[in-house]
A and B are shown apart, each in its own frame.
Chain A
């Protein structure tokens, strides 16, 4: 018989306001096996933990039930506390009285009744708990960073700095990501390339960092400390090891009318190309959709001009397998497609552009060499209208429900840059709210208004109509002066909402991490664990977790790196002891469990058994590798003879909980 102690937490008033904690403690005292029961203001506090420790010593407790917040919150805290006085940490159960009782119910009587039942269920479970010892598994001292934007680069640099090998997987032919496309950065207006390209070069030259450009994650297996990742190196038709990046092939390529995605399709590139001058690795790639040689076998100019013989038209996708201890996700964002917002005439007029297109139009390496010209007729625009919140802050059916966070600031930046370079240009910004929380952010926005004379109008653009004279008729509202405005604009710039990259969803499935309804990765705790995913060993960096500007992204990238380093520093990690085990006497070796195990943790061994007639027989029985088993329990249900059971969530324990609840 266990000697169980029950500890009911008030959690300030969080629990105590709707649950009569004293009554709960009093009622649970009468349960069988309970020898001690008390309540306290904050069980998780130092003095609260001491109450538990003292009670274990004083009453020789063999089991502990803490009625407090969710076990996802403080189970680890309490386990540590009981372990410190010599009780096995797995002899403790948490009854969730806060998230699943006091916070959702209003009536004190019924909430208290439910709290007692939840406490009973936990007591019933503890009765059947057995001490468990966690095994250890080694940590592979190598990290993987998925995504080579500023987030991925920063994470990789930090991990490499700590002395660990890091691989970066980037799906594009070069690392750099969105930041490489940006012209200037707020709030300092320094050039993005000037601060990014040194980092790209640093990543390329660091011998600890290995860049797999133009590659994708094909498969992920394993668990924290020991992931096995299959990387698909997509065929770029150029031998990476030979290409020197001289660019001669790109000059000679006859196929010159390929939309240049780096410049947001505002100009053209060749079929064999290097994305941009500072690309890392500076290696050409042949676009098979346009290359004449790959399409119809006639051309081959690039292979003729290449002095090192790097062109390889027969190159195939290659798969390599690598093992990692930690994985950092940095898949980033994209602006949304604007085909749902016809009112802004984005698909009708080339002079209606997104903000990222404007970045390219204003960039010195952009289609106009840094002079802002209208895409349609290459003349100077004199009136430019900016529209905020295009697709952000919408009802679910109309767009993204969240604020994209970066648009207010980059629009202020664009407006300021345009007014500075072309003072004869009138700039209107239509806003719903101007959101500028951040160091020096509001000052920056005020400067756009006060020093640069940007017209900020509280209201929204309702309709943009391209006119035959090339102007854009903009119809908008000015809510503060309560009038409708009609502006003849030369250009309209749309602050499109941002969304997670499309590759994030299948990646999350491979990594078995959680995502929210908008496909942003979910962090383990919204406040206290912002860079970890709920899956151990997987960390989050940058905009894949939520909209972020560059300073925030870099901060999060370094934080994710710190977490990954913390993991890689360890020689081994404690495994989850809640793993499956089979009762060899009951197992009949039918292989049902092996078939459902997603980790291949179950093998079969031939074991000698003494039979009732004193002979011995060799039988085939299942054996679970505790270092590989993750404790899902699929095998326990598949087992026809009931030989498989799961530590910590055994059949009898769950049945006891069911009984306690239904009684």
Chain B
């Protein structure tokens, strides 16, 4: 299991141990109620190495990647990046791309902000 933890920590690239468990990430999260595991739990579970559970949870796809927690985390732990790292681990395991550029024209909606497309690639593409 430790190699998954290493892979996640490696793609996350920062230090989860800097977390002081203040809960500001979960306080600021707009999709908190949608999530089974909340941003602060992501950080502590990754630190403990309990990553399989997170990978199985839908919570990794409920994160909007809005980066509010990144912006506000006082310790620069940046929980959204932790979630992203777990999500990548899951996507890579499944082995296929869920979003390729060719699919975009059909889905395009004039009201859709461009940022959403970028975010969608972050979330669903390998």
A-side interface residues toward B, CB under 8 Å? Answer: 343, 389, 393-395, 397-399, 432, 458-463, 475-479, 482, 484
Contact = CB atoms under 8 A, between A and B. Distances in A.
6 contacts: A343-B72, A393-B74, A398-B73, A460-B23, A462-B24, A479-B21
Interface in B65-117: 68, 72-76
B20 A462 contact: no
Contacts of A394: 74-75
A477 B74 contact: no
A484 B75 contact: no
- Chain B, interface size: which category? 20 to 34
Contact of B27 (A393, A397, A476, A482): A476
A604 to B, nearest CB: 59
Contacts of B74: 389, 393-395, 398-399
Point out which of A398, A432, A462 has the most chain B C-beta atoms below 10 A from its C-beta. A462
A460 B24 contact: yes
Interface stretch (B2-10, B28-36, B50-58, B118-126): B28-36
A442 B18 CA distance: 27
Contacts of A393: 20, 74-75
Nearest to B71: A343
Nearest to B32: A484
Contact of B38 (A398, A399, A463, A482): A482
A572 B20 CA distance: 52
Contacts, number: 69
Contacts of A458: 23
Contacts of B33: 484
A432 B21 contact: yes
A479 B22 CA distance: 8
Contacts of B32: 477, 484
Given A398-B76, A459-B22, A482-B41, 20 more contacts: A343-B72, A393-B74, A395-B18, A459-B26, A462-B24, A462-B68, A463-B27, A463-B28, A463-B68, A475-B28, A477-B24, A477-B25, A477-B32, A477-B40, A479-B21, A479-B23, A482-B38, A484-B26, A484-B27, A484-B33
Nearest to B41: A482
A627 B106 CA distance: 87
A82 to B, nearest CB: 49
Among A393, A394, A461, A484, chain B packs the most CB atoms within 10 A around the CB of A484
A399 B26 CA distance: 20
Contacts of B18: 395
Nearest to A433: B20
A482 B25 CA distance: 12
Contacts of B23: 432, 458-460, 477-479
